[in-house]
Structure 1
Amino acid sequence: MSVRALLFATALASAPVGAGAQVTAPDRFFKQPVGSDYYLANYAEYEAYLKRIAGESDRIKLMDIGKTAEGRTMWVAIVSSPANLARLDEYRSTAEKLARGRVSEAEARQLAATGKAVVWIDAGMHATETVTSQGQIQVLHKLLSGSDAETLRTLDDCILLFGHDNPDGMDLVSNWYMRHADPKKREFATLPRLYQKYIGHDNNRDSYMANMPETENVNRVLFRQWYPQIVYNQHQTGPEGMVVFVPPFRDPFNFNYDPIVMSQLSEVGFAMHSRLIAEGKAGSGMRSAARYSTWHNGMERSVSYFHNSIGLLTEIIGGPTPEKIPLVPATQLPRGDEMLPIAPQEWHLQQTLDYQWSLDRAVIDYASRNRERLLFNIWRMGANSIARGNTDSWTITPTKVGRLDAAAPLEARGARKVDPALYKTLMQAPAERDPRAYVIPADQRDLPTAVTFLNALIKNGVEVERADQPFSAGGKSYPAGSYVVRTAQAYRPHVLDMFEPQDHPHDTEYPGGPPKAPYDVTGYTLAYQMGVTFDRVLDPFDAPLTAVPDLMTPPPGRIIGSGQAGWLVGHETNNSFILTNRLLKVRVPVRWMSGATSADGAALQPGALWVPASTKARAILEKGTAELGITAHAVAAQPSGASIALKPVRVGLVDRWGGLMPAGWTRWLLERFEFSFEQVFPQRLDAGNLARDYDVLLFTDDAMPPKGAWGSDRPGQQPEVVDTPTEMRRMLGTATDAKTAPAVAEFVRGGGAAVAIGSSGRLAELLGTALKPALSRQVDGAPRPLDTKEFFIPGTVLRARVDNTQPLGFGLPSEVDVFFASSQTFMPPFGAPGTRRVSWFEGRDLLRSGWAVGEEKLAGTIAVADVDVGRGKLFLMGPEVAQRAQSYGTFKFLFNALLYGGAER
């Protein structure tokens, strides 16, 4: 479908009028002037304003890019000159050809000369960062109504895409803020829930996975449809004692992307600073002014670097409630990273919006003045990627540089000079070449999850191919239906980042000092997290491949055999849990076979599903196997051996006022895999008698306030009871050791099950088990996490062992990649009865992707445990087994726990 077919122009009796015509000013449309203190427009009003001005100006068209998680329409306002808007398909096609990098240099130069710079400027991603949404209203009006030379020039040179990332959040936050008639009582610190339906603030950590509909919609515009050369993602709050953080960023930057994007990022950043300073707008800082870096791929502006686009982030102060800029002495002396300090003063919303207009104006002006160079350079970066993917190439990493450094003779250690001959030996070893392609075999353990992984790549514009016939590559044979991702494509940086381990440098506050905290996680290789089997192919090969045109469903599964007794289904696919939940929902008996079994000559590992024959079961299996990509074996006799009878499980997902992001991600995950559950809040836990309503209680990270060796709690604000809508009052309250823990202990000892992930593993202590935290020290007689100089794993992929003969390990391989972020593990119980080690760390070399200091301290410690408590179960999972709904490779720990927790015992 063409972009033109997606465009929406509000139907009016009169045709849109020209640039000189009256465009409704915000002050004449909204209840109060936008930018007023103590006032926020909501998304419904914003949307209505977009439609109004789209009917009044020939400089704007609206594009519907899809629905949000709550069903609101996401609009992009395309702003440009009337002549450009009449040729949008042509300019979009030009942007695509250049971004994909497959045209010749001569054609690229011609396209760059005639094309238009495409700039994305968004608002509202983090809904409590309210200034971006309010400011966009003013920016749109100024661009549509302005007749100055700069406005006309920039509209002629550029196509501007103004998007809103989080309509649901804007409505929630604005309505909550405006609920009080008294302006002085207005606030949004006590929001009742997350401002994105599932993930709140983490909606800016979803870019490479694109689980959420909002992320998928935005990615489609950025990397599959419009290919902007600049992606400007606006945020708040700014550094203390300043007004706004503006790029460039601090190191490290990720070594996978093209350095051209970083050099141009600095250019745009300095243009933004220069405009503010020239206009007398003080208080902008860069680099050392804040800890933002360009390492992690998960954010909207940072995923852009891996797609050869200039990703911009600003963080600015302000809000509808006036505030004060504090006096921070360290910010008062001009320096390279803060050239024009600002004095302490009271600050109002309109001042922030004035800065935002200047920043937007600077970015647009840069794009206009550098239009041809931006267009040509995005081609150059794409062509560079294709060339690197077609030749032997090597990526320089900190580990390789460390080898060189270690090779320096002792007497030369000061200068660190090394024999140049070692460059090829240590930096360009033939076996360490970057792959020409990655092959994802069709015969892997969990092909449906591999398809989900490939869909995440496709959502990011990556080209994926499928084999129509068997083929060979790298000396290995692959069956038909296998997938290939070549690195000779424009988005090669993103491809490498999703398959290769992140090798984060050892970054300290000062030489020999403590580690410097990264802005986000350091290791996140998606293929590792999802447990995808793939091969790195280092040499060229030919194969009968067909391009995958769009998102895929798993290849249809089937029922094998003709036996009439029932069906056996392997436990290896995550989708088997969807099938199980569908069967249990209609009360079809399902059992897990405790030991290994076989069917039709196929060996099935422990945990295989046994479904006795029935008409109801057959209908679900026939539909489910085809839809979910699962194989079921129809067998002639019931398998022998011990088994575990499952039953419909009542899951209580623990949450709290304001919403827990880990619980929100888990809520999305449980819905996706069709588990029945309900949210449960501290008041209900404290009331006791939990077995009446639940079989399993699920405590995600932070659901039990962390203390001692588990870290420190970060309690959110809650409103007074009288200030809370009646239907929300059940959500008030906080989980406590004094009231919540005894109620949970009674539930578990009476036969219930509790799943505790991350810091909620404190339940091991609160329920009196033999397991103790392994990564702790004593400070003033109290347990505390280990000092970061001796143990620091801030978000990393590690390798763990699994006992897959135990119910929590059913379906998993004997080794698995786990996501570990400042997590806690457990000391072995030394023979304590009723405590089973399901997953653990073995040896000292555990790092798979990211950065780890002191990983050897994990050796021998328990990651996942199954503990008997009275007549019930406590399932402990130190690492984040459901990390941001990305770690498909460890979902089975959680899913097994939920079903096993409710099983007959």
Structure 2
Amino acid sequence: MWIPRALRRPARPTGLLLALAVGTLAAVPAAGQVPTPASIIGFAPGTERQLADWNDLTGYYEALARASDRVALDTLGPTTDGRPFVMLTITSPENHAQLDELQSIQRRLADPRLLTGEAELEELLDRGRTVVLITHGIHATEVGSSQSAANLAYRLASSNDGRVREILDNVVVLQIPSLNPDGLQWVAEWYREWVGTRYEASDLPWLYHRYVGHDNNRDWYAFTQQETQLTIELAHNAWRPQIVHDIHQMGGSGARIFFPPYTEPWDPNIDPALTSAVSQLGTWMAAELTAQGKPGVVVQAIYDAYTPARAYQHYHAGARILSETASADLATSVVSVDPADIGGGREYDVGTRSWKYPWPWEGGRWGLPQIVDYMESGAMALLTNAARNRRYWLENFVGIGERAIAERTEGPRAWVIPADQSNQPGVDYALRVLAMADVEVHRAVEPFTVAGERFAAGSWVVPLNQPYGSFAQTMLERQVYPDLREYPGGPPKRPYDVTAHTLPLLLDFEAIPVDEPVQAALSDPIDPPAFDFELPPELRGDAAPRIGIYKGWREPMEAGWTRWVFDQHGLAYDTIHDATMRDGALGDHFDVILLQDQSATQIVQGFAEGSVPPGYSGGIGDAGVTALRDFVRGGGRLVAIEGATDLAIDLFDLDVSNAVDRLPSQDFYIPGSLLSLEITDERFGTGLEPETAAWYWGSSRVFDVSDPTVRVLARFADRPLLSGWVLGAERVAGRPAIVEATVGAGTVTLFGFQPNYRGQSMATWPLLFRALSGVRLGIFDHN
């Protein structure tokens, strides 16, 4: 859902409004008495085997805002499932009295074009405050973050010690206590239902975000989800924080907490002064916790700073500080960790003292109390740095902005998106991304020529000498990821996430870099276009197929993303649960069944019996396998993607195999890149360009086809790499990527790559839609 610009400023709710949403006003104490979390929730957040849910926590924040003149509570909007999405603003009463003026100062410092001279700049630097955005709980099973948020808010609202007063005087703290309230509510309810039983730490048997699950922290350049949009528009863009602290949890077998510096590589479009600022702040935080006697603090390990999918503020002059605290079993402690069981470690050795890991953790008890303690200590260390170095943070912020608006001496000066492209929805998607990120995108009001190339009126122009030109550059250019190895000639160093994010390739449109400034009559910066996806032609009309998406208790995130894409297009579908699959007679209800990326073992067996509560274990089982076989042989259509292709190949004894299965990584490695795809089947590609970009990552396949009756619908190009990093390109070059087989009266279509990567790969959505419609065989022909 797009939020109009007129509605982007947060509206402060009345106490009654929020109380109606969460139902907790009765517990609010009288004004002036700052309530503890325990006085509202019933226990202190971080208590062993206790989890506060979103209703509890929003009730507490309402009580805190009513009682403290240091705290204001804003409801930014509804979550995906309709819960209140809130933000606390915490600072001194004196700062609250001039909050609008402080916000105005911040926005002028963010754009040096708005400054009139050195005298005004000096005045604003004296009057401004460091703005820090702290975000909690994006991953709902990382339960410590959302619990620690309440403790941190209470400490800042109630304490009068010198450290807290220094923070309040010099910092405006914006605290989003949960980036995923829906998932927080579900996980807390699930844990409380089963605490005290063998299942109290069992996995939640559905995605903890309706559409994206764990991928909600990979949405920070596509802005597809409601929670991302609210945070970008009403926190990041409204305030332009100098620092963003994103509080997470990681695996429990190694270090106890991670802070930056990040490992290499950094995206080269990030300002070098920001890289240095992140490194000094992270090292400060590590030193603070170590000085407090907390072992197991590690820096410059595990996490890199390459992809903008997790680091929006790095392209908006702000330092993004990720902290990752070791996990337990949800709110249940791991009672005794044997030193012999401590292992792992990427870019550090968990058993060896070093400069980046000076005090190794040697085992013992670890649980929610320790997690919350480490998290709160890390946040206080960050806020202390932000307060004591207020002038540094503001001056560095301005310096980054001044370099951003200076005329570039290297690389392109601007990007031009030509008018009248065939895929206007892709152009609109990209324009929405850029404009929502406050990139200034203009439209040419007349034809123009730049660098010897002629462009029509209506073309879009993105100058790069603007405050957030680095975001435009990283989103529009093709990525060239460095060839990093564990040792010379050895296996690759694994990126933390992926290596490509090129919007023109993902969204199937043309963007042209130009090496000269654009001299043309241009419009004012455009507003972001709304999502406007239409139902694909193949799926319109009375003969649209009845689509079923398989959803077991171990649902992959890609299935959630697929539901999001279908919902955006208004495409009707039904969900097929394990029991439905086992009941059989699938052809009575469905024409086509989609299996998203999931292993055959997960589909057939699901959760092991005893690992989750009764009713949630098992998969489709033998009965479901038989039903699926009968469905296809009886005339149904099966579309299987990536890992699910293994089940289809075995089930129908197809003479198809994965050509890159079990190859060592030094011979073949594609950690997340965009490859050139050639559509080789004329019928399948009718009306489409013969080449497009396909997303390939760890679960993708490259097919070998020995049976001549198996039709190859698309192949990877002979020179496959378009953006990212590929080792062993010859292993994929020219190989089949989409194949189709007739089985009995039905068909099976296999996708070796992911046609719907995080709701972003619009370029290959048409191929998925055509596979679902059966257009290749004319089963649902709309000629």
TM-score by structure 1 length? 0.79
Match in the other structure for 1:419: none
Secondary structure at 2:421's aligned position in 1?
Answer: coil
Alpha-carbon separation, structure 2, partners of 1:305 and 1:769: 50
Name 1:695's counterpart in structure 2. 591
Partner of 1:642: none
1:6 equivalent to 2:17? Answer: no
Q: Does residue 289 of structure 2 align to residue 285 of structure 1?
A: no
Task: Give the letter for the 2:649 counterpart.
Answer: E
Report the counterpart of residue 837 of structure 1 in structure 2: 712
In structure 2, C-alpha distance between the alignment counterparts of 1:23 and 1:37, rounded to whole Å = 24
Partner residue of 2:544 out of 639, 644, 648: 648
Corresponding position of 2:740 = 866
Q: Measure how far apart 1:79 and its partner are.
A: 0.2
Give the C-alpha shift of residue 177 in structure 1. Answer: 0.5
Residues 429-828 of structure 1 mapped to structure 2, 5 A cutoff: 434-553=411-530, 575=533, 577-578=535-536, 581=539, 583-584=540-541, 587=542, 647-702=543-598, 704-705=600-601, 716=607, 723-724=613-614, 729=615, 732-735=617-620, 738-768=622-652, 770-776=654-660, 784-803=661-680, 805-807=682-684, 809-822=685-698, 823-828=700-705
Q: Does residue 172 of the first structure (1) align with residue 181 of the second (2)?
A: no
Partners of 2:75 and 2:85 within 8 A in 1: yes
**For 1:25-64, what aligned pairs fall within 5 Å after superposition?**
25-64=36-75
Partner of 1:282: helix, strand, or coil? coil
Secondary structure at the aligned position of 2:693 is classed as strand
Aligned counterparts of 2:741 and 2:533: Cα–Cα separation in 1: 27
2:69 alignment partner, SS class: coil
> Quick one: which of 189, 196, 210 aligns to 2:202?
189
Give the superposition deviation at 1:793: 0.7
Aligned to 1:360: 379
| CA-CA distance at 1:192 after TM superposition | 2.2
Structure 1 counterpart SS, 2:266: coil
Give the percent of matched residue pairs that are identical in Structure 1 and Structure 2: 32
Instruction: Report if the CA contact (8 A) 1:99-1:378 is conserved.
Output: yes
Partners of 1:266 and 1:492 lie apart in 2 by 23
Pairs within 5 Å for 1:85-484: 85-104=96-115, 106=118, 107-163=120-176, 164-180=178-194, 183-185=196-198, 187-237=200-250, 240-288=253-301, 291-299=302-310, 302-317=311-326, 318=328, 319-323=330-334, 324-327=336-339, 328=342, 331-387=350-406, 390-393=407-410, 434-484=411-461
- Contact 1:108–1:379 at 8 Å: present in 2 too? no
Indicate the larger mover: 454-463 or 223-232.
454-463
The letter of the residue matching 1:884 is: R
8 Å Cα contact 1:529-1:886 kept in structure 2: yes
1:624 is matched with which residue? none
Can you list the C-alpha shifts for 1:405-433, whole angstroms capped at 9, x where unaligned? Answer: xxxxxxxxxxxxxxxxxxxxxxxxxxxxx
Provide the rounded CA distance (Å) in 2 between the counterparts of 1:507 and 1:715. Answer: 37
CA distance in 1 between partners of 2:33 and 2:594 (Å): 57
> 2: CA distance between counterparts of 1:268 and 1:26?
29
Further displaced range: 23-32 or 92-101: 92-101
- Structure 1 residue 890 and structure 2 residue 764: aligned? yes
- Is the 2:608–2:618 Cα contact (8 Å) retained in structure 1? no
Cα deviations across residues 630-670 of structure 1 (Å, max 9, x unaligned)? xxxxxxxxxxxxxxxxx121111012104320100001111
Tell me how far apart the structure 2 counterparts of residues 155 and 514 of structure 1 sit (CA, whole Å).
49
Runs of 5+ unmatched residues, structure 2:
1-5, 20-24, 344-348
User: Hey, what's the Cα distance between the residues in 2 that align with 1:223 and 1:140?
Assistant: 20
**CA contact under 8 A between 2:544 and 2:780: conserved in structure 1?**
no
Pair 1:483–1:62, CA change in 2 (3 A):
same
SS at match of 2:75: strand
The aligned residue for residue 852 of structure 1 is 726
Aligned mates of 1:367, 1:266 — CA distance in 2: 14
Match of 2:304, SS state, is coil
SS for the counterpart of 1:331 is coil
Asked if 2 retains the 8 angstrom alpha-carbon contact of 1:804 and 1:813, the reply is: no
SS at match of 1:532: coil
Tell me how far apart the structure 2 counterparts of residues 661 and 496 of structure 1 sit (CA, whole Å): 29
Using the alignment, how far apart are the partners of 1:851 and 1:684 within structure 2? 41
SS of equivalent to 1:542:
coil
Separation in 2, partners of 1:715, 1:770: 24
SS at match of 2:467: coil
Shift of 1:443: 1.1
Instruction: Indicate conservation of the 8 Å contact 1:650/1:677, yes or no.
Output: yes
Quick check: 750-759 or 234-243, which moved more? 234-243
**SS, match of residue 84 in structure 1:** helix
> 1: CA distance between counterparts of 2:693 and 2:233?
30
Mapped to 2, the partners of 1:706 and 1:441 lie a distance apart of: 46
Aligned partners of 1:716, 1:310: CA distance in 2, in Å?
Answer: 40
Q: Distance in 2 between matches of 1:792 and 1:442?
A: 37
For the Cα contact (< 8 Å) 1:4–1:88, is it kept in 2?
no
Question: Matched residue of 1:536: which SS?
Answer: strand
- Corresponding letter in the other structure for 1:506: D
Distance in 1, matches of 2:571 and 2:642, equals 21
SS at match of 2:523: strand
Aligned to 2:22: none
Q: Is the 8 A contact 1:119 1:159 kept in 2?
A: yes
8 A Cα contact 1:655 1:703, kept in partner: no
Verify the 8 A CA contact 2:10 2:76 in the aligned structure 1.
no
Give 1:225's aligned amino acid.
A
* Post-superposition offset of 1:829: 4.0
- How far does residue 463 in structure 1 lie from its aligned partner after superposition? 1.6
Residue 636 of structure 1 corresponds to none
- Give the residue type in structure 2 aligned to 1:806: R
C-alpha RMSD of matched pairs (Å): 2.7
1:109 to partner: Cα distance? 3.8
Task: Give the direction of change, closer, same or farther, for the CA distance of 1:670–1:766 in structure 2 (3 Å limit).
Answer: same
Do the aligned residues in 2 keep the contact of 1:682 with 1:732 (CA within 8 Å)? no
One-letter amino acid of the counterpart of residue 172, structure 1: W
Query: 1:376, 1:74 → 2: CA distance?
Result: 32
> Partners of 1:139 and 1:31 in 2: how far apart?
17
CA contact (8 A) 2:88 2:174 kept: yes
Deviation at 1:800, TM superposition (A): 1.4
SS at match of 1:32: coil
Matched to 1:791, the amino acid is: F
Contact 2:414 2:464 in 1 (8 A): yes
Q: Is the 8 A contact 1:466 1:546 kept in 2?
A: yes
The aligned amino acid for 1:840 is R
Contact 1:691/1:752 (<8 A) preserved: yes
- In structure 1, the gaps of 5 or more residues are 394-433, 555-573, 588-646, 708-712, 777-783
Q: Give the SS at the match of 2:740.
A: strand
Q: Decide whether the 8 Å contact of 1:468 with 1:480 is kept in 2.
A: yes
Structure number, greater radius of gyration: 1
